[in-house]
Amino acid sequence: MKAILIDDEPHNLNNLQVLLETYCPQIETCALALNAEQGKAALFTHQPDLLFLDIQMPGEDGFAMLRSLAGHDFEVIFVTAYDQYAIQAMRFSAIDYLLKPININELQAAVTRASKQRRLKVQNQQVDYLMQWLKAQSQKEEQRIALSTTEETRFVKTSEIIRCESSNNYTTFFLNDGERLLVSKPIYEYDELLSGYGFLRCHQSHLVNKAFVKSWKKEYGDFLLLIDGTQVPISRGKKETVKKALHNETKS
């Protein structure tokens, strides 16, 4: 796979190039760029399979650069220092990113996923969706989340998710139309991601949308009764948090 690296810090570019040469021999670095303008010229010249793109750059940042492209036929792995908003955007879009300083195992895993997508000739829909997510945030539109199953990436409104249930490193999403989606990510990732959208972690294995909670049942233990008839357990350590969250919900 041919790759282009874009970062405004020369030492970051050199470091990433060395890591790729050492740990990802399937990647051929064909160009380095220090800003969006150089990066777009390199994209036109080399037509890469993969782009490593820094987000925080002076002038046109990584998101703005992608928005300015008419189209793309390459995978994207973002490389960024910690930025809560940027990371939330990428996680909602199920797109790969690496935090600086780069972890070798995470780099290899991201490259493996990108290689698989190229082999299957799957267009990087996540990048398109990332652009939609950023636009929706600026226009205060209803939020959707990208859920990657073994067969597809589905874009689901958060208001359509009744609850999430974990099993080891997998999470099942239960939708309000009766559909279930199995995603190969642990539930704690979605706990943090969905907490701002009305979701409540009531148990180690369960995350519920407060909008679908019907009542709190206390016979034979504590449970949340949801409008679809499901009973979700409330763990002892979560009782006060759940009570406070539901109390605030009723007040609002």
Q: Domains along the chain?
A: 2-134 (3.40.50.2300), 156-251 (2.40.50.1020)
- CA 137, CA 88: separation in Å to the nearest integer? 11
Mean pLDDT of 233-238: 92
Cα angle value 72/155/163 (rounded, 5°): 150
Report the pLDDT value the prediction gives residue 129, as an integer from 0 to 100.
72
Nearest to 24 by CA among 130, 109, 124, 142: 109
- CA 249, CA 243: separation in Å to the nearest integer? 10
Mean pLDDT of 78-92: 86
Mean pLDDT of 119-141: 67
What's the token pair of residue 151?
């067969």
* End-to-end CA, the chain: 53
| Contact yes or no for 97/137 (Cβ under 8 A) | no
Report how far apart, in Å, the C-alpha atoms of 222 and of each of 21, 186, 191, 214 are: 55, 24, 20, 14
Dihedral pair phi/psi, residue 23, rounded to 5°:
-110, -10
Mean pLDDT of 134-148: 75
Nearest to 65 by CA among 110, 118, 4, 19: 4
Report the pLDDT value the prediction gives residue 125, as an integer from 0 to 100.
66
Average pLDDT, rounded, for the chain: 88
| Digit-coded pLDDT (tens) for 19-74 | 999 999 999 999 999 999 999 999 999 999 999 999 999 999 999 998 898 777 88
Confidence of residue 177 (pLDDT cuts 50, 70, 90): very high
Residue for token pair 């998101």: 63
| Digit-coded pLDDT (tens) for 149-167 | 888 888 899 999 999 999 8
Residue for token pair 């950023």: 134
| Contact yes or no for 67/87 (Cβ under 8 A) | no
Q: Which residue has the higher pLDDT, 245 or 35?
A: 35
Mean pLDDT of 203-222: 90
| Contact yes or no for 231/223 (Cβ under 8 A) | yes
Report the pLDDT value the prediction gives residue 241, as an integer from 0 to 100.
87
Instruction: Give the DSSP H or E segment for 188.
Output: helix 187-194
Give yes or no for residue 252 having a pLDDT over 50: no
The pTM score is: 0.67
What is the greatest pairwise CA distance in the chain?
Answer: 68
Give yes or no for residue 95 having a pLDDT over 90: no
Q: Which residue has the higher pLDDT, 165 or 137?
A: 165
Report the pLDDT value the prediction gives residue 121, as an integer from 0 to 100.
58
Report the pLDDT value the prediction gives residue 104, as an integer from 0 to 100.
96
Instruction: Give the DSSP H or E segment for 132.
Output: helix 125-139
* β-bridge partners, 51: 4, 76
